[in-house]
Structure 1
Amino acid sequence: MRKTVWIILSCFLTLLFVPKTYGQAQDKLLSLLKEELAQQMKELKGEEFPPYHMNYRVIDVTTSVVSTSFGALMNSQQYRSRTLVPQIRLGDATLDNFKFAQMGAQQPSSARLPLDEDNNEDAIRQAIWNETNNRYKFAVDMYQRTKAQTTVNVEEEDKAPYFSDVPVEKYYEAPLPVEKTKIDLDEWAKRLKEISAVFKNQPGIMQGDAMMIYTVERRYFVNSEGTEVVQNLPYARIMVFGETKADDGMELPLNLSYFAYDPKDLPSNDKIIADAKEMVKTLEALRVAPMVDPYTGPALLSGPASGVFFHEIFGHRVEGQRMKSESDGQTFKKMVGEYVLPADMHVYDDPTIREYAGEDLNGFYKYDDQGVKAERVDVVVNGKLNEFLMTRTPIDGHPRSNGHARAMGGFDPVSRQSNLVIETSNPKTPEELRQLLIEEVKKQGKEYGYFFKEVTSGFTFTGKGGTNSFNVTPLEVYKVFADGRPDQLVRGVDLIGTPLSMFSNIIYAGNDARVFTGMCGAESGSIPVTAISPTILVNKVETQRKAKSQDILPILSAPGLEKKAKN
Structure 2
Amino acid sequence: MKKFILLLASLLASLLLPAQDKMLDLLKGELKSQMATLQKGEYPPYYMNYRVIDNFTRTVRSSMGATTSVEEEKQIIFVPQVRIGSPEFDNFHETQNGVLTNRFAGPPTILLPSDLTNGLDAFKETIREEVNSRYKYAKKTYEAAKAKSGVKVENEDKSPDFTPAKAEKYFEPALSADKIAFDTDLWQKKLNKYTALLAENKDVIGANATLNYKIWRKYFVSTEGAEIAENRVYVVLSIKGTTMADDGMELPLNKSYMAFSLDELPSEALIIKDLKAMSTKLSELKVAPLVQPFTGPSLLSGSASGVFFHEIFGHRVEGQKMKSDSDGQTFKNMVGEYVLPKNLSVYMDPTMKKYHGNPLNGHYIFDDQGVRGERVEVVKDGKLLNFLMTRTGLNGFLRSNGHARAEFEYDPTSRQSNLIVETNNYKSDAELRKMLIDEAKQQGKEYGYFFKSVTGGFTQTGRTGANSFNVTPLEVYRIYVDGRKDELVRGVDMIGTPLSMFSNIDAAGGDFEIFTGTCGASSGNVPVTAISPTILVNKVELQKKAKPTVTPALLPRP
1:55 aligns with one of 46, 49, 52: 49
- Aligned pairs for 1:6-25 (under 5 A) are 21=15, 24-25=18-19
Aligned AA (2:59) = V
User: What residue number does 1:232 align with?
Assistant: 231
What is the CA distance between 1:248 and its match in structure 2? 1.0
1:130 Cα deviation from its structure 2 partner: 1.2
Structure 1: distance between partners of 2:13 and 2:495 = 50
Is the 2:20–2:171 Cα contact (8 Å) retained in structure 1?
A: no
Map 1:187-202 onto structure 2 (within 5 A): 187-202=186-201
Deviates more, 1:267-276 or 1:37-46: 267-276
Q: What is the rounded CA distance, in whole Å, between the counterparts of 1:136 and 1:129 in structure 2?
A: 10
For 2:449, the aligned partner's letter is Y
Deviation at 1:24, TM superposition (A): 4.8
Superposition pairs of residues 359-398 of structure 1, within 5 angstroms: 359-398=358-397
Alignment-derived partner of residue 36 in structure 2: 42
Residue 435 (structure 1) shift = 0.9
Segment drifting more, 19-28 vs 435-444: 19-28
8 Å contact from structure 1 (residues 513, 533) kept in 2: yes
Contact 1:426 1:509 in 2 (8 A): yes
Distance 2:22 2:172 in 1: 14
**One-letter identity of the residue aligned with 2:460:** F
Change (3 A) 1:191 1:23: farther
List structure 1 segments (4+ residues) > 4 angstroms apart after TM superposition: 18-24
Q: Distance in 1 between matches of 2:489 and 2:502?
A: 25
- 1:7 maps to what in 2? none
* CA deviation profile, 1:45-77 (whole Å, cap 9, x unmatched): 100011111000001011111111111111123
2-structure distance, mates of 1:465, 1:71: 47
Identify the residue that residue 87 of structure 1 maps to in structure 2.
Answer: 81
Q: Which amino acid aligns with 1:532?
A: I
Q: 1:77 corresponds to which letter in structure 2?
A: E
Post-superposition CA distance 1:417-468 (Å, at most 9, x none): 0000000111111111111111111111110000000000100000011000
Query: Does the aligned pair in 2 maintain the 1:344–1:426 contact within 8 Å?
Result: yes
Contact 1:89 / 1:97 at 8 angstroms: preserved in 2?
yes
Q: Give the structure 2 partner of residue 15 of structure 1.
A: none
Contact 1:19 1:172 in 2 (8 A): no
- Any unmatched runs of 5+ in structure 2? 1-11, 102-106
Q: Secondary structure at the match of 2:479?
A: strand
Secondary structure (helix, strand or coil) at the match of 1:138 reads helix
Give the match's secondary structure for 1:102: coil
- Name the SS of the counterpart of 2:395 in structure 1: coil
Amino acid at match of 1:51: P
Question: Which residue is 1:534 aligned to?
Answer: 533
Q: Is 1:28 the counterpart of 2:27 in the alignment?
A: no
Contact 2:205–2:557 (8 Å) recurs in 1 = no
Kept in 1, the 8 Å contact 2:17–2:169? The answer is no
Matches within 5 A, 1:75-474: 75-107=69-101, 108-474=107-473
1:199 is displaced (CA, Å) by 2.3
Name the SS of the counterpart of 2:511 in structure 1. Answer: coil
Q: Distance in 2 between matches of 1:318 and 1:248?
A: 41
Find the aligned partners of 2:194 and 2:212 in 1 and give their Cα distance. 15
Q: For the residues of structure 1 that align with 2:463 and 2:249, how far apart are their CA atoms?
A: 33
Aligned partner letter, 1:225: E
CA distance in 1, matches of 2:41, 2:191: 57
- CA–CA distance in 1 between the matches of 2:349 and 2:454? 23
Q: Which amino acid aligns with 2:164?
A: D
- What is the CA-CA distance between 1:119 and the residue it aligns to? 2.4
1:190-210 CA deviation, whole Å, 9 max, x = no partner? 111111111224223121011
Q: Any idea what SS the aligned residue of 1:31 has?
A: helix
Q: Which range moved further: 439-448 or 174-183?
A: 174-183
Q: How many residues align?
A: 542
* Shift in Å, 1:251: 1.1
TM-score, with length taken from structure 2: 0.95
Change over 3 Å in CA distance of 1:510–1:282 after alignment to 2: same
User: Which residue identity lines up with residue 125 of structure 2 in the other structure?
Assistant: Q
CA 343–32 in structure 1, closer or farther in 2 if over 3 Å, else same: same
What is the one-letter code of the residue matched to 1:86?
P
* Aligned-residue identity in percent: 55
Aligned amino acid, residue 306 of structure 1: S
1:503-518 correspondence to structure 2 within 5 Å: 503-518=502-517
Amino acid across the alignment from 1:69: S
- Structure 1 CA distance, aligned partners of 2:259 and 2:521? 25
Shift of 1:26: 4.4
Equivalent in the alignment of 1:479 = 478
Query: Does the 8 A contact of 2:406 with 2:413 survive in 1?
Result: yes
Report deviation, 1:384.
0.3
Whichever residue aligns with residue 379 of structure 1, its letter is V
Q: For residue 364 of structure 1, report the CA deviation from its aligned partner.
A: 0.4
Q: Distance in 2 between matches of 1:556 and 1:20?
A: 71
Most deviating of 310-319 and 354-363: 354-363
| Greater RCO, 1 or 2 (C-alpha within 8 Å, sep 6+) | 1
CA contact (8 A) 1:20 1:170 kept: no
1:348 alignment partner AA:
Y
Is 2:64 aligned against 1:70?
yes
Q: Which residue identity is paired with 2:302? A: G
- Give the superposition deviation at 1:22: 6.6
CA drift at 1:110? 3.6
Larger CA deviation: 114-123 vs 23-32 = 23-32
Per the TM alignment, residue 112 of structure 1 is displaced from its structure 2 partner at its CA by: 0.3
> Does the 8 Å contact 1:85/1:109 carry over to 2?
no
* Letter aligned with residue 128 of structure 2: W
Q: Is the 8 A contact 1:349 1:377 kept in 2?
A: yes
Letter in 2 for 1:137: K
Deviation per residue, 1:516-558 (Å, 9 max, x gap)? 0000000100000000000000000001001132111112332
**Pair 1:93–1:458, CA change in 2 (3 A):** same
Give the CA deviation at 1:123.
1.3
Q: Secondary structure in 1 aligned to 2:122?
A: helix
Alignment deviations for residues 347-373 of structure 1 (CA, whole Å, 9 cap, x no partner): 000000011122110100111100001
2 CA distance for matches of 1:23 and 1:349? Answer: 29
Amino acid at match of 1:486: K
The residue identity in structure 1 corresponding to 2:476 is V
Q: Post-superposition shift, 1:285? A: 0.7
Partner SS state of residue 511, structure 1:
strand
Which whole-Å CA distance do the structure 1 matches of 2:501 and 2:169 have between them? 43
- What is the aligned-residue RMSD (CA, Å)? 1.3
Is contact 1:28–1:118 with CA below 8 Å preserved after alignment? no
Q: CA deviation at 1:382?
A: 1.1
The amino acid of 2:314's aligned partner reads G
Q: Which moved more, 1:74-83 or 1:162-171?
A: 74-83
